[in-house]
Amino acid sequence: MPVDASSLSGQGQTICVTGAGGFIASWMVKLLLDKGYTVRGTARNPADPKNSHLRELEGAEERLTLCKADLLDYESLKEAIQGCDGVFHTASPVTDDPEEMVEPAVNGTKNVIIAAAEAKVRRVVFTSSIGAVYMDPNKGPDVVIDESCWSDLEFCKNTENWYCYGKAVAEQAAWDMAKEKGVDLVVVNPVLVLGPLLQPTVNASIVHILKYLTGSAKTYANSVQAYVHVRDVALAHILVFETPSASGRYLCSESVLHRGEVVEILAKFFPEYPIPTKCSDEKNPRKQPYKFSNQKLRDLG
């Protein structure tokens, strides 16, 4: 379904955000409200105190509705999405348990796409992950990772990386179902997302940094990681929704750092914390950063 460029302002438009109380989704809700959109957020239990921060956002009283919905309950999703102009599907389990990760991610994504097709929404923006992109043992640090890259599913299974496996198969399921149902789908693939928390709970990506501040990590790993700010990720979703020409996948990445660089930055800003100074692997050469291209997203705006 083509995107109508004449009706893309936030005012008068309704977006459904799945898993609205999550780290990235909360920022989506905030920025959508800031732009004048009406937001319908899904949550398994809207009354749960962990979702209370959403009701405190500017514009929430007038333009935010929290709907009780579960990814595996099609009827609840159908009700939440009906009447919306777009869907930002960001709800997904974050776990390395294959039973908890793969089936809910795949079937939940299919349900969202089917419900979006029935509601005739203008566009679905799906939050995938770099985990669906870069897990490939045949790609060295000199290879530039871009939107054409996909994680090697056999490698993910053999290494029991069920998070990356689940992200890859869920994204592929989204593309397959969108094609079957004629849904205009755009995918954002963020790297590790950091930034201020709007929600009252600590999410998995923030633990990545907290462990160096709390003293629970006595050393840092000889590994590299790509990072991006949560606000930039939320803005990227809005950008690809609002831009008629947006299509396909968009990597969302800012910096690629070795863990040693991360702890150096933390020590500079938080010298009072017990930040580790030793690498857990001092025998092998320092791992070199991968190269990620975010040019496609930059070209969009």
Instruction: Provide the annotated active-site residues.
Output: 167
Closest to 121 (Cα-Cα) out of 65, 75, 165, 184: 184
Q: Give the number of other CB atoms < 10 A from CB of residue 294.
A: 20
Per the CB < 8 A criterion, the answer to whether 57 and 30 are in contact is yes
Per the CB < 8 A criterion, the answer to whether 19 and 199 are in contact is no
Non-local (6+) Cβ contacts of 35 within 8 A are 10, 238
**Token duo for residue 140:** 């060295």
Closest to 14 (Cα-Cα) out of 42, 37, 47, 46: 37
**Token duo for residue 193:** 């997302």
Three-state DSSP class for residue 164 = helix
Q: Give the number of other CB atoms < 10 A from CB of residue 123.
A: 24
Helices (H), 4-159: 23-34, 52-55, 60-63, 74-81, 98-119, 153-158
